[in-house]
C-alpha cells in the first residue's frame, strides 16, 4: 500500500474576500491583494516536495470561476460582461462567492476509506457537500464528476454527497483521521464532528454534524468496532480551529493532538486504550497547553502539516514556513524527534494559501492504495516531469501577479480563467468538462 496525495490546483481567481466564517486568517486578510501566480506555483512546489519524498502526486483541476451558470440561476442575464457587472453592483459578496478559488483546499473534497478498512474491500469515497459555507457548497458537483473521472468503479465506490442536517455540512477529510500499524493493514477511522445536527447552538460555526459523519461511516461499510466519533473541542472551534486538522494529525501508528483538540476526554481515553491494545508501537503524542497554547497551535498551523511515510519508510513532517516564527513550536519539534518515529522535517512556502487559512494538510486529499488500485487510476491526473512543466508554463503565462476582490468583475479575468481551464483539460486529456466548453 502507498500514499498518493491529490492537491487542489490553485485557480486564477485566488483572492482574499474573507468568506470563511470562523477562519481567522481569512478574516484578517480580507481585501488584501493576492498573487494567484505565486499561489499556484507555491502549491506546485509543495507537491514537488512530496514527489521528492517518493510519494505519488496528483492534482484536482480548478473549478470554473467566476461561475456564470450559478449567477444565471439567480436571475442575472445578458452577456457574460453584463452578468459580472450586474452581480457586482448588486452584491460584491455574491460575486465573491461565485468566484472563490477555495477548491484549492482538497482536504475538503471528500472522505476516503481505504480498502483494508471496508467490508467489501473497495475504496469508499464520499465527496463533501460543504453546505455550511455557500462558496464551498457550489464545489460539490464538479468534485463529484472529477472523482468519477479519476477513480474507477472496479476499485472505488463513489457515493453521492451526504445529506445536510439543519444546515450542517460535511467538510471531508479535514475532519477525518486514520490510525493503523501500517498503511496496508486494517485501520481505525476517526470521524470528528462539531455538534449534533439537531442541537441549536449558534455561538460558533460548527461545520460537521455527528449524524452526517455517522452516515458516511455506515455507507463506507466500516467495521463499527474500528470506527470512532469524537467531538471537536468547542473552545478550539471558537478560537479558530474551524476544521479538526488544525489541532490534530495522524499517519499510520502516530497520532498527534493538542490537549484542547477534543471535547470529551473520557471518549478520547477510551479510544486511546483500544488503539494501544490493538496497534503495535502506537504513539499518541499530546501537546499540552502549557507547552504550546491553543492560540499558537492555531496561528502557526503546526498541526496542519502533512505527516507522511516516505519511500525510505521514514516518518517525515511537511510544515508551513510560518511555524519557524514560533519558538515554542520549534522547541516542540526538537522534542518530537526524540520521542516519536517522526525524524525528518521539511518547511514549505505556501504563504498565499496560509493567508486564507490553508496549510499543507488543507491543500491535499490523502488516498491509500495498493499497487493494483494505483495502476487503475486515471494516470492523466498523476504528475510526471512533463505534465508539471506544462502546468507551470501555463501559470507563468496566464496567471496574474496581483488581484483584488473587486477585480472579480473584470471580464478579462473571466477570459483568462477560461483560457487556463481550457488548456488544463488538454494537459489532463479530459475532454470538455467545464460548462463554458459545452456551449
* pLDDT tens track for 374-425: 999 999 999 999 999 999 999 999 999 999 999 999 999 999 999 999 999 9
63 is a catalytic site residue = no
Radius of gyration of the chain (CA): 21
CA atoms within 13 A on the CB side of 190: 27
Residue 202 pLDDT grade (very low, low, confident, very high; cuts 50, 70, 90):
low
Please check whether residue 325 is in contact with residue 301, taking contact to mean a CB–CB distance below 8 angstroms.
no
CA atoms within 13 A on the CB side of 18: 13
pLDDT of residue 205 exceeding 80, the answer is no
pLDDT of residue 439 exceeding 90, the answer is no
At 312, which CATH number? 3.75.10.20
Q: What is the predicted pLDDT for the residue at 25?
A: 63
The closest of 111, 107, 132, 108 to 19, measured between CA atoms, is: 132
The closest of 201, 226, 227, 225 to 214, measured between CA atoms, is: 227
Total length of the chain: 439
The closest of 67, 76, 144, 77 to 98, measured between CA atoms, is: 67
Q: Which residue has the cell 486568517?
A: 25
Q: What is the predicted pLDDT for the residue at 22?
A: 72
From 139, 171, 195, 259, active-site residue: 171
Q: What is the predicted pLDDT for the residue at 203?
A: 66
Q: What is the predicted pLDDT for the residue at 52?
A: 97
Measured in degrees and rounded to the nearest 5, phi and psi for residue 79 equal: -70, 165
pLDDT of residue 137 exceeding 80, the answer is yes
From 14, 135, 362, 373, active-site residue: 362
Please check whether residue 289 is in contact with residue 258, taking contact to mean a CB–CB distance below 8 angstroms.
yes
The whole-number average pLDDT for the span 131-143 is 95
pLDDT of residue 201 exceeding 70, the answer is no
CA distance 120 to 223: 11
362 is a catalytic site residue = yes
Q: In what order do the strands lie in the sheet with 56-60?
A: 56-60, 2-8, 364-369
Give pLDDT tens digits for 342-359. 999 999 999 999 999 999
pLDDT of residue 147 exceeding 70, the answer is yes
For 319, the grid coordinates are 510544515
Which secondary structure element, helix H or strand E, spans residue 193, and what is its range? strand 188-193
- State percent of the chain over pLDDT 70: 98
- State percent of the chain over pLDDT 90: 90
Please check whether residue 401 is in contact with residue 151, taking contact to mean a CB–CB distance below 8 angstroms.
no
CA 297 to chain centroid:
18
From 239, 243, 329, 373, active-site residue: 243
395-to-226, 401, 403, 407, 421 alpha-carbon distances in Å? 44, 10, 14, 18, 11
Domains held by the chain: number:
1
Structural domain boundaries enclosing 31: 2-437
Label residue 141 left, alpha or beta by phi (over 0 means left) and psi (-120 to 50 means alpha): alpha
Mean pLDDT of the chain: 95
Q: What is the predicted pLDDT for the residue at 168?
A: 83
239 is a catalytic site residue = no
Q: What is the predicted pLDDT for the residue at 19?
A: 75
CA distance 395 to 389: 10
Amino acid at each position: 500500500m502507498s500514499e498518493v496525495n491529490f492537491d487542489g490546483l490553485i485557480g486564477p481567481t485566488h483572492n482574499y474576500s474573507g468568506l470563511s466564517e470562523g477562519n481567522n486568517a481569512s478574516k484578517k486578510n480580507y481585501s488584501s491583494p493576492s498573487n494567484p501566480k505565486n499561489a499556484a506555483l507555491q502549491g506546485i512546489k509543495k507537491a514537488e516536495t512530496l514527489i521528492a519524498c517518493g510519494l505519488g502526486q496528483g492534482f484536482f483541476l480548478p473549478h470554473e470561476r467566476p461561475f456564470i451558470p450559478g449567477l444565471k440561476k439567480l436571475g442575472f442575464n445578458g452577456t457574460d460582461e453584463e452578468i459580472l457587472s450586474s452581480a457586482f453592483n448588486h452584491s460584491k459578496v455574491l460575486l465573491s462567492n461565485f468566484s472563490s478559488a477555495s477548491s484549492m483546499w482538497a482536504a475538503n473534497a471528500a472522505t476516503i476509506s481505504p480498502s483494508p478498512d471496508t467490508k467489501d474491500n473497495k475504496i469508499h469515497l464520499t465527496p463533501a457537500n460543504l453546505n455550511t459555507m455557500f462558496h464551498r457548497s457550489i464545489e460539490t458537483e464538479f468534485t463529484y464528476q472529477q472523482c468519477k473521472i479519476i477513480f474507477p468503479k472496479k476499485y472505488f465506490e463513489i457515493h453521492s454527497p451526504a445529506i445536510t442536517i439543519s444546515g450542517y455540512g460535511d467538510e471531508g477529510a479535514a475532519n477525518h483521521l486514520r490510525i493503523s500499524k501500517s498503511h496496508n493493514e486494517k485501520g481505525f477511522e476517526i470521524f470528528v464532528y462539531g455538534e449534533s445536527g439537531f442541537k441549536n447552538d449558534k455561538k460558533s460555526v460548527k461545520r460537521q454534524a455527528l449524524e452526517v459523519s455517522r452516515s458516511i461511516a455506515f455507507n463506507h461499510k466500516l467495521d463499527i468496532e474500528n470506527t470512532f466519533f469524537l467531538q471537536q473541542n468547542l473552545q478550539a472551534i471558537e478560537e479558530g480551529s474551524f476544521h479538526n486538522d488544525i489541532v490534530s494529525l495522524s499517519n499510520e501508528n502516530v497520532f498527534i493532538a493538542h490537549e484542547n483538540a477534543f471535547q470529551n476526554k473520557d471518549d478520547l481515553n477510551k479510544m486511546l486504550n483500544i488503539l494501544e491494545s490493538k496497534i503495535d508501537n502506537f504513539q499518541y503524542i499530546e501537546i499540552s497547553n502549557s507547552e504550546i497554547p491553543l492560540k499558537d497551535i492555531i496561528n502557526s498551523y503546526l498541526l496542519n502539516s502533512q505527516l507522511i511515510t516516505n519511500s525510505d519508510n521514514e516518518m517525515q513532517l511537511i510544515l508551513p514556513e510560518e511555524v519557524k516564527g514560533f519558538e515554542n513550536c520549534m522547541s516542540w519539534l526538537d522534542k518530537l524527534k526524540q520521542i516519536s518515529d517522526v525524524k525528518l522535517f521539511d518547511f514549505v512556502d505556501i504563504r498565499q494559501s496560509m493567508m486564507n487559512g490553508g496549510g499543507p494538510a488543507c491543500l491535499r486529499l490523502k488516498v491509500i492504495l495498493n499497487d493494483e488500485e494505483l495502476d487503475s487510476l486515471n494516470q492523466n491526473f498523476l504528475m510526471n516531469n512533463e505534465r508539471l512543466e506544462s502546468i507551470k508554463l501555463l501559470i507563468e503565462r496566464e496567471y496574474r501577479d496581483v488581484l483584488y476582490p473587486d477585480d472579480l468583475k473584470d471580464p478579462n479575468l473571466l477570459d483568462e480563467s477560461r483560457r487556463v481551464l481550457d488548456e488544463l483539460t488538454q494537459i489532463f486529456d479530459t475532454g470538455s468538462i467545464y460548462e463554458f466548453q459545452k456551449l
